[in-house]
Structure 1
Amino acid sequence: MSTSNSFPIGTPGQPWGNEEKAQWLATTSIKRSYKDDVLSKIDALRDRFDVTQYGALSIDPARYPQFGIQSRNFDASKPTMLITGGVHGYETSGVHGALKFLDSEADAFVEHFNFIVAPCVSPWGYETINRWNPIAVDPNRSFVDNSPSEEAANVMAFVKGLGVEVFAHIDLHETTDTDESEFRPALAARDGKDYEEDIVPDGFYTVGDTENPNSDFQKAIIDEVRTVTHIAPADADGNIIGSPVQQDGVINYPLASLGLCNGFTACKFGTTTEVYPDSPKVTDEECNDAQVAAIRGALKYLINLK
């Protein structure tokens, strides 16, 4: 593994201050439309689901409203399923996989579950194709008390305000080539550290919770997804992104202590999905379908527990 401390912003070995963060923000630009790509699909669901605006980003509240979508006729006797997407806004299939599930498959499961879906937690990140928010904070390390990310704080307040117990939570993500070419080097520079190169895994994998791994649950998701796309192999050291593989396509993180989205609900069953959209073996739609398959695999497993 090689290291580097070269990045066009900042001084090697010194964490960024406000000036460097402003320089970084100046390099960002709008590359696609949240309104056209996402809000239009949310609007199309309003005749079948309850849609609530739970927040808006301060950088441009009119442009970046945040929406939650719920199945109708919430029933306290049913377990509640939380699905989040777009916590990292640039991870496209997380957003569109969540919306595709609602449009195409949620109706088949509403007799068993209540659904809460936040399909695009980070709309500015979606438009600028970015991992961070405008103040160079990673929302997916910010699901903590007094969160430095309004994206994370707003969705946590929304879910808490509903007053329901979240039984299971699927957080939809991607691992991309730009993680290594752009985002992790930027992270190292921001924090005044050397960048350590790693290998981007080619295929789908999940991240379970070290404290509550639910191995059979993770396996059910992997088995359903492998009908749609390939599963990421371990590297030569038996790892995926530096973490030991627990079973085919599964690694574990201490989710709550890292401030990750899947750790904020204290749910009984949780997973973070990771699709690899840059593989030559997949299309964009297959990536969306892999996210839908992950949700479907989780739900089928949970139904069979009853």
Structure 2
Amino acid sequence: MKIGLEKRKVISGYVFILPWMLGFLAFLVYPLVMSFYMGFRKMTSVSGMEMEYIGWENFSRAVLKDIYFIPLFYDAIRNAFVEIPLILVFSFFMAMLLNHEVFGRAFFRGAFFLPVVIGSGFVMEQLLGQGVGALQTVAADPSVVNTGVTNGLQIPDVIARYLSPEMYGNLTDILGRLTIMFWKTGIQILLFLAGLQGISESLYESAKCDGATPWEMFWKITFPLMTPVLLLNAIFTLVDSFTDIRNQVILYIKQVAFTNIEMGYASALGWIYFVFVFILVVLIFAFTRKRVVYTGM
């Protein structure tokens, strides 16, 4: 029995995602179900993990009564919508530069990807704890916010003395964000590079024969063919931003769960946060469905 090309592609796709599906079933399904179950309950005994059913009280408390969750949630959304476009634009621009034959191209490719290797997880947390970047951590009292000192990009003293305290604080915060964002563009640059190298040179040669300028070739060839990679990077950056170790909502949920020992309420907070991010991802897919160019489909 012969298998058609389309069916072979489908089978290859399922084989490709099979390890992830097995890992999801083995390690994520039970925690997800358990956290949803705990979101409707209140823990009465920590030693025996005894809980009582309280309905939607945890969710209503998060939205209507908690004076810390909504402000932290708003800040996380604001920071994400500021950082995500900057990360995408910067990584796309750097990928365009690194795609050309320039001296030291391999070195610069490695230099931009190096922070992905050394600047993740515990290493990044320790760096930020020393004040690298504009780190904010939720203190024991969530109303107290500790702000780290920017050890990355700094305002020279010659310029700083002529700035007002408010302007100096805003510029310091921007530079701190830029320091962190430069560290977080390695994967995006790598994906954009892969997409750029997948565009056939014959398209550019044909456009040149027709008298197209580099600017026209970018908007008529490069950008449309890069929209699938742009969508992938947008989703990745969105999820990465909302699950970042600097994210105040994540820190607050961890504090509620493991410091205040309110597992049920922390589960409700986590599900509210998860549903919001999931809805954002769905909206992005819905908005870009007719704007993404898939070639060879």
TM-score range, shorter chain: under 0.3
Task: State the TM-score, normalized to the length of structure 2.
Answer: 0.23
Instruction: Name which structure has the greater RCO, CA cutoff 8 Å, separation 6+.
Output: 2
